């Protein structure tokens, strides 16, 4: 039984895929996670919007009216300048000047959220006494908060008498940010021009997303691929299969079927998450329309950036690179499964798979790919284990040309095919092997002495 038979591979693919998607565990897990995303995401967003609304309401001072007594001199300060100070917390307070405390008390009558301020000139210094009028619903804490605000902001009111424009009062508290032009070191990339900064952030976010997505898929389906490859050895069915099914077709059919079932599950979850976010955004807007949630703003901003940064060719190449990378790791897991004869052997047989998985991530870390570095060496896009993690983000953000992304994609796909072929040959060599699985060196020697699969 040499070579590869497409018809046999399709039968193995159909049988394995049907077994996976029709299993009760697969269906329950898929539907349960999807329902949780549709229900939990809107619920969390609704609670977050309600909390944000409460925080915004509590951010306003309960004081709504202040009667100011400028006794005895009555110099005529513009108290309404204070509306431009202190942010939104104290911006809704109305001020009115009273001639004496009795007039101030009359102005506050019937207003249960009012205060009286008596301003006195103490020979070169001013003192302000904040009084709680009779019948007010305010407490000492609210009065103290206003007193602190008055102490920090009233100097600007004093400056207003000298011709200072009170509308510019908030400018006095603005921070001054500085930067050094011409800095091009990686550490200074956030001080470069806006386009480079945007691409760096996009690469960082997309690389992290690729790493999390692939590791999630591999964690669930890597071991499943290895176990599925080994199953026929454990049950003894492979003795019969060797007569009718070519090993390469068997392994390739299993790898493609498990990967396809995993991608189908991921698509259902992604659609459920998108629906949950959409419903959650509508509910959050209904709860608190004045200020959208941060996650909604993030997706809108990212969508606006994507519209000018992502190309159709880049998106297609990136998606295919993720799929090819997933197939490569599934092929490596199948190679580990082909070396094992018993379930307890999978741990040691998959050591190579684990080490290669870790090596790709460490390369992405040490070269700065997960930190937003857009100037990676070309070999990172050529070496398949690193290309799996960095190529999708780079080609999507446009930091590498599409042709290099296509070359990287082809290399990953060819490597996945090659590993599958090697896994099929190893499967035949070790189908009757009993005892501890042989080491990698011994398997390589056996493969060199066996030219057909």
In tens, the pLDDT along 99-126 reads: 888 888 888 888 888 888 887 776 666 7
395 and 312 in a common domain:
yes
**Average pLDDT, integer, range 333-337:** 80
39 and 95 in a common domain:
no
Confidence of residue 278 (pLDDT cuts 50, 70, 90): confident
309 and 244 in a common domain:
yes
Contacts of 35 (CB under 8 A, 6+ apart): 272
147 and 242 in a common domain:
no
180 in any annotated domain: no
User: Order of strands across the sheet with 65-69?
Assistant: 94-98, 65-69, 114-121, 126-131
What local confidence, expressed as pLDDT, does residue 199 receive?
64
Residue 226 structure tokens: 């290895």
Asked whether residue 328 carries a pLDDT value surpassing 70, the answer given is yes
pLDDT in tens, 3-59: 556 677 788 888 888 888 888 888 999 999 999 999 998 888 888 877 777 766 666
Q: Which of 377-391, 395-409, 417-431 has the lowest mean pLDDT?
A: 417-431
DSSP secondary structure of 54-66: HHHHHTS-S--EE
Q: How many angstroms from the chain centroid is the CA of residue 232? A: 40
- Give bridge partners of residue 116 from the DSSP assignment: 67, 131
331 and 390 in a common domain:
yes
Please tell me the pTM assigned to this model: 0.62
Q: How far apart are CA 134 and CA 112, in angstroms?
A: 9
Q: What is the sign, positive or negative, of the torsion defined by CA atoms of 236, 240, 242, 248? A: negative
**Residue 326 and residue 218 in contact, taking contact as beta carbons nearer than 8 Å:** yes
59 in any annotated domain: no
- The one-character DSSP state at 99 is S
**Residue 334 and residue 225 in contact, taking contact as beta carbons nearer than 8 Å:** yes
344 and 225 in a common domain:
yes
What local confidence, expressed as pLDDT, does residue 192 receive?
42
246 and 104 in a common domain:
no
Asked whether residue 318 carries a pLDDT value surpassing 50, the answer given is yes
What local confidence, expressed as pLDDT, does residue 432 receive?
55
What local confidence, expressed as pLDDT, does residue 389 receive?
86
Q: How many angstroms from the chain centroid is the CA of residue 442? A: 43
179 in any annotated domain: no
453 in any annotated domain: no
- The per-residue pLDDT of the chain, averaged, comes to 75
382 and 278 in a common domain:
yes
**Average pLDDT, integer, range 380-393:** 88
SS3 96: strand
Rg of the chain in Å (alpha carbons): 34
253 and 145 in a common domain:
no
What local confidence, expressed as pLDDT, does residue 28 receive?
92
Asked whether residue 273 carries a pLDDT value surpassing 70, the answer given is yes
Task: Select from 143, 173, 203 the last residue of a domain.
Answer: 173
423 and 355 in a common domain:
yes
312 and 406 in a common domain:
yes
pLDDT in tens, 145-195: 888 888 877 777 667 555 555 555 555 544 444 444 444 444 444 334 445
**Average pLDDT, integer, range 382-400:** 86
Asked whether residue 241 carries a pLDDT value surpassing 70, the answer given is no
**Average pLDDT, integer, range 294-306:** 61
pLDDT in tens, 302-314: 665 555 567 788 8
Number of domains making up the chain: 2
39 in any annotated domain: yes
Q: Which of 132-146, 193-207, 228-242, 339-353 holds the top average pLDDT?
A: 132-146
**Average pLDDT, integer, range 398-412:** 90
418 in any annotated domain: yes
**Residue 1 and residue 240 in contact, taking contact as beta carbons nearer than 8 Å:** no
What local confidence, expressed as pLDDT, does residue 173 receive?
47
292 in any annotated domain: yes
CA dist 318 → 252, 314, 323, 364, 400 (Å): 23, 6, 9, 17, 12
**Average pLDDT, integer, range 288-305:** 64
90 in any annotated domain: yes
Q: Which of 68-72, 120-124, 133-137, 183-187 holds the top average pLDDT?
A: 133-137
**Average pLDDT, integer, range 251-272:** 88
Q: Which of 33-47, 235-249, 377-391 has the lowest mean pLDDT?
A: 235-249
Domain that holds residue 107: 65-173
**Average pLDDT, integer, range 419-425:** 82
What local confidence, expressed as pLDDT, does residue 223 receive?
77
CA dist 362 → 88, 212, 283, 355 (Å): 47, 14, 41, 10
353 and 229 in a common domain:
yes
What local confidence, expressed as pLDDT, does residue 182 receive?
43
């Amino acid at each position: 039984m040499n070579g590869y038979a497409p018809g046999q591979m399709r039968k193995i693919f159909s049988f394995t895929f049907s077994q996976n998607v029709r299993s009760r565990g697969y269906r329950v897990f898929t539907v349960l996670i999807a329902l949780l995303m549709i229900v939990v995401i809107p619920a969390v967003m609704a609670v977050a919007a309600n909390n944000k609304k409460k925080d915004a309401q509590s951010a306003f001072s309960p004081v709504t009216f202040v009667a100011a007594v400028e006794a005895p001199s009555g110099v005529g300060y513009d108290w309404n300048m204070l509306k431009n100070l202190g942010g939104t917390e104290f911006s809704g307070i109305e001020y009115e000047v009273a001639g004496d405390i009795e007039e101030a008390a009359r102005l506050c009558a019937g207003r249960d959220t009012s205060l009286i301020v008596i301003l006195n000139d103490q020979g070169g210094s001013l003192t302000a006494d904040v009084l709680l009028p009779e019948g007010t619903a305010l407490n000492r804490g609210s009065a103290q908060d206003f007193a602190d605000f008055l102490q920090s902001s009233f100097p600007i009111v004093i400056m207003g008498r000298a011709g200072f424009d009170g509308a510019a009062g908030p400018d006095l508290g603005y921070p001054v940010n500085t930067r050094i032009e011409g800095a091009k070191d990686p550490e200074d990339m956030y001080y470069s021009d806006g386009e480079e900064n945007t691409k760096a952030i996009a690469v960082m976010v997309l690389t992290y997303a690729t790493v999390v997505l692939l590791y999630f898929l591999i964690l669930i389906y890597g071991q499943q691929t290895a176990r599925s490859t080994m199953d026929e050895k454990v049950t003894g069915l492979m003795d019969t299969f060797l007569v009718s099914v070519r090993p390469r077709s068997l392994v390739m059919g299993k790898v493609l079927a498990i990967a396809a079932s995993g991608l189908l599950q991921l698509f259902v979850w992604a659609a459920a998450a998108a629906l949950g976010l959409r419903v959650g955004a509508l509910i959050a807007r209904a709860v608190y329309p004045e200020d959208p949630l941060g996650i909604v703003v993030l997706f809108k901003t990212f969508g606006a950036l994507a519209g000018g940064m992502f190309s159709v060719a880049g998106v297609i190449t990136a998606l295919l690179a993720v799929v090819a990378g997933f197939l490569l790791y599934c092929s490596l897991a199948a190679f580990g499964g082909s070396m094992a004869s018993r379930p307890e052997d999978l741990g040691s047989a998959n050591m190579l798979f684990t080490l290669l998985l870790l090596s790709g991530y460490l390369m992405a870390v040490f070269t700065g790919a997960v930190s937003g570095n857009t100037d990676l060496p070309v070999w990172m896009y050529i070496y398949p284990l690193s290309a799996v993690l960095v190529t999708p983000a780079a080609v999507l953000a446009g930091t590498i040309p599409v042709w290099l992304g296509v070359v990287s994609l082809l290399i990953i796909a060819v490597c996945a095919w090659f590993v599958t072929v090697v896994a099929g040959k190893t499967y035949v060599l070790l189908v009757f092997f009993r005892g501890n699985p042989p080491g990698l060196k011994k398997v390589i020697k056996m493969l060199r002495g066996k030219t057909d699969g």
